Amino acid sequence: MAYRSTHTYVNLPVKDLNRTKEFFGSIGFEFNAQFSDEKAACMVINDNTFVMLLTESYFGSFISKPVADPSVSAAGIIALSADSRDHVNELADKALAAGGKQYKEAQDHGFMYVRSFEDLDGHLWEIAHMDMSAMPQE
């Protein structure tokens, strides 16, 4: 039987937790106070997916490698879905207005539309809308 997780937690190091919470809050994300304190903020993506934003020192306490600097190197991309192209644009525009940086031009593949941004620490995010009915058939 294949493994299936019931919940997903992505952990990211951040330099300034309060500023990061303000950034993501201005985009429209909410936080679960039960799993947040002065070292960590639990950002809710949906009922089963969360991003734990951890101060760099707290993040470092969980690992034996150095904490990477996402402003100079990428180790991953967090991709989230949106309900429509307009929703993609709304979220990406809010991220840019809140201090995020665009790291790629918008991509329009017909069936999939994607906008990308870097958060305040340089972590890479993509917001995508997929219209499965417009997906090319083989």
CATH number of the domain within which 8 lies? 3.10.180.10
- For residue 68, being part of any structural domain is answered with no
Task: Give residue 24's pLDDT.
Answer: 98
> In which domain, by residue range, is 58 found?
1-62
Let me know whether 38 and 93 are in one domain.
no
Local structure of residue 28 (DSSP, 8 states): T
Contact 15, 56 (CB under 8 A): yes
Q: What is the pLDDT of residues 64-104, one digit of tens each?
A: 999 999 999 998 999 999 999 999 999 999 999 999 999 99
- Residue whose entry in the numeric block shows the structure tokens 């993040």: 59
Q: What does the pLDDT read at residue 101?
A: 97
Q: Does this model's pTM top 0.85? A: yes
Give yes or no for residue 112 having a pLDDT over 80: yes
Question: Which of 32, 62, 92 is a domain's end point?
Answer: 62
Q: Name the residue with tokens 């100079």.
A: 72
Residues 57 and 78 in one domain: no
Q: How many domains does the chain have?
A: 2
**∠ Cα 32 35 37 (to 5°):** 105
Model confidence at 136, pLDDT cuts 50, 70, 90, reads confident
In a domain, 67, yes or no: no
What is the SS3 assignment for 116?
Answer: strand
